[in-house]
Structure 1
Amino acid sequence: MLISTEGIPSCMATDETARGPDDPVAGQTVQHGTGVNSNRAFPTNNYPGNLDPFVLFERFYIDPDKGFPMHPHKGFEIVSYMIEGGMDHEDSLGVEHTAYEDDVMRITTGSGIRHSEFPADGQACNGLQLWVNLPRSEKEADPDYIDASSEDLPTEARDGATVTTVVGEGSPIDLRTEMEYLDVHVSDAWTWSMPEGWSGFLYGVEGEGTVAGSDFGVGDVLPVTDARDVEVASDEGVLRLVAVAGEPHDEPIRQQGPFVF
């Protein structure tokens, strides 16, 4: 995805004094140059920083007549997870693939790759896209691609929730950064535990509820940068969110459009 720099502040330092550690922030609407709209979790004016090792995260909405023509990327890895509809992917490695609801694609851009993304079957689609920084020692890695269908991803019932592991134990999708990416449907109450030394976030996909005692809904994000348990509860119905955490590289994240140095 050719990420627009619109909405990305020039300063990447987060003012943590402006919000408490349990206060969610609202995502920011961004329109890409191709006419595609996204709800960006970070970096935004509301949260003007990266979350090492994560460069950015957003939910994209692609209308039938929009999309991303062939464009370059380098220096990071991309995880695209579909929520509704299908998305056609084609790249300079010769890969052609269509991902549908709850399917996932991972691209290692490394030394450089070109790809395109368009809605499949003449229908609108939406999904989640995460950029994960590559450590400096692996910036020139050979580009690579892998995908997995929803049937390939392990799903289990946990206390108060149903959890699908998009990246992590049991998933065929792996990255060069140690991390976990969970798709969680909370029907009652569920606890998310952040591992020691990791950082990550929760992002609202569907429904309403509370996170760490604060109201939480579609497009909200709770960044977490310390090891702790976060209590999640649904209101009436199901609160769907993703929980993403990873081990920081402790290296500067320098993004210029589709490249991360």
Structure 2
Amino acid sequence: MTDPGVVPGGRVRHGTGVTSTRAFPTEAYPHNLDPFVLFERFYIDPEDGFPMHPHKGFEIVSYMLDGGMEHEDSLGVTHTAREGDVMRITTGSGIRHSEFPADGDACNGLQLWVNLSRAQKDVEADYEDADASDLPTADRRGATVTTVVGEGSPIDLHTPMEYLDARVTGAWTWEVPDDWVGFVFGVDGDGSVDGDDFGVGDVRPVTDARAVDLAAGDDKVFRVACVAGRPHGEPIRQRGPYVL
């Protein structure tokens, strides 16, 4: 696959009127990034949301940026995630869940779908969450980084991966591990990725292990999600809410 450079996110509308900025797959980048099925930033108005619906064959990581989101599922779990909180759902052999904004207010966050390998498609459905205070945050040279998934985080997936929420204030380098695939997504502010201008909703696929150079722009705080994982080396077959 050729290097696409910086790609703008695409607008998606689903649920009962939920709008999202999707990183991939989109018309501009019509690919999955094995092991990742899709990634998007969702915006849910108070009267909208996702009524109870089914999923199977993958894992979901929802990370809240603003407001609260109420989760309910067929395992009997009910939980409200708020700013900085994270929820992980292993859909496995099948689960049903709903997502609605809490407290009559709008909310927005990031949602990632991670494929399960062929051998794990039928694992038992499971759920896990963590508060913002449970996620490790460290000052690194040029950035303050919260680990949503990865070393030190209580959130664990079947696929080895790293999910970082980075607030870049100067110049910072993200190292993608050997044999992993990943991407950078613009959350807030502007800056550059590998020398290219980069803003809110932009995505930079990284399909080879290497160092990715990021730098803050005029807004001084350049917030990005940096996600990478070990590919399964298997086709990703998404059929609506299912990944076969």
- TM-score by length of structure 2 reads 0.98
The equivalent position to 2:163 in structure 1, one of 181, 191, 198, is 181
Aligned partner of 1:116 among 84, 95, 98: 98
Please report how far the alpha carbon of residue 34 of structure 1 lies from its aligned counterpart in structure 2 after TM superposition.
1.6
**1:172 Cα deviation from its structure 2 partner:** 0.1
Q: 2:112 aligns with which of 116, 126, 130?
A: 130
In structure 1, the residue matched to 2:132 is 150
TM-aligned CA deviation for residue 33 of structure 1: 4.4
Structure 2 residue 148 is matched with structure 1 residue 166: yes
Residue 32 of structure 1 is aligned with which of 3, 8, 14?
14
Give the letter for the 2:116 counterpart: L
In 2, Cα distance between equivalents of 1:121 and 1:52: 36
Please tell me the residue identity of whatever aligns with 1:121. Answer: D
In 2, Cα distance between equivalents of 1:227 and 1:245: 9
1:257 is aligned to 240
Shift of 1:44: 0.4
Counterpart of 2:228 in structure 1: which amino acid?
Answer: A
- Give the letter aligned to residue 154 of structure 2: P
What are the ranges of 5 or more consecutive residues in structure 1 without an aligned counterpart? Answer: 1-13
**Which residues in structure 2 correspond to 1:198-213 (within 5 Å)?**
198-213=180-195
The one-letter amino acid paired with 1:41 is A
Instruction: Name the CA distance, whole Å, in 1 between partners of 2:15 and 2:242.
Output: 16
Which secondary structure does the structure 2 equivalent of 1:137 belong to? helix
1:78 Cα deviation (Å)? Answer: 0.1
Distance 2:186 2:217 in 1: 13
**Matching residue of 2:75:** 93
Counterpart residue type for residue 162 of structure 1: T
Is the strand fraction higher in 1 or 2?
A: 2
Fraction of identical pairs, as percent:
70
**Alignment-derived partner of residue 9 in structure 1:** none
Q: C-alpha displacement at 1:227, in angstroms?
A: 1.1
- The match for 1:220 is 202
Q: Distance in 1 between matches of 2:29 and 2:175?
A: 22
Aligned to 1:103: 85
Distance 1:230 1:247 in 2: 17
Aligned to 2:222: 239
1:215 alignment partner AA? D
Letter in 2 for 1:159: R
Backbone CA RMSD of aligned residues? 0.8
Pairing 1:187-202 to 2, within 5 Å after superposition: 187-202=169-184
**2:164 match: secondary structure:** strand
Distance apart, 1:90 and its partner CA:
0.2
CA distance in 2, matches of 1:227, 1:65: 43
Q: 1:53-75: CA deviations, max 9, x gaps?
A: 00000000000000000000000
Deviation at 1:77, TM superposition (A): 0.1
Kindly provide the amino acid, as one letter, of the partner of residue 181 in structure 2. Answer: S
Alignment check: 8 A CA contact 2:60 2:89 kept: yes
For 1:6, the equivalent position in structure 2 comes to none
* Residues 15, 49 of structure 2: 8 Å contact kept: no
Q: Can you give the 5+ residue segments of structure 2 that lack an aligned partner in the other structure?
A: none
Number of the residue aligned with 1:8:
none
Find the counterpart in structure 1 of residue 30 from structure 2.
48
The TM-score normalised by the length of structure 1 is 0.92
Could you list the structure 1 runs, at least 4 aligned residues long, displaced by more than 3 angstroms after superposition.
none
| 1:33-89 superposed Cα distances (whole Å, 9 cap, x missing partner) | 421000000000111100000000000000000000000000000000000000000
* Aligned mates of 2:73, 2:178 — CA distance in 1: 37
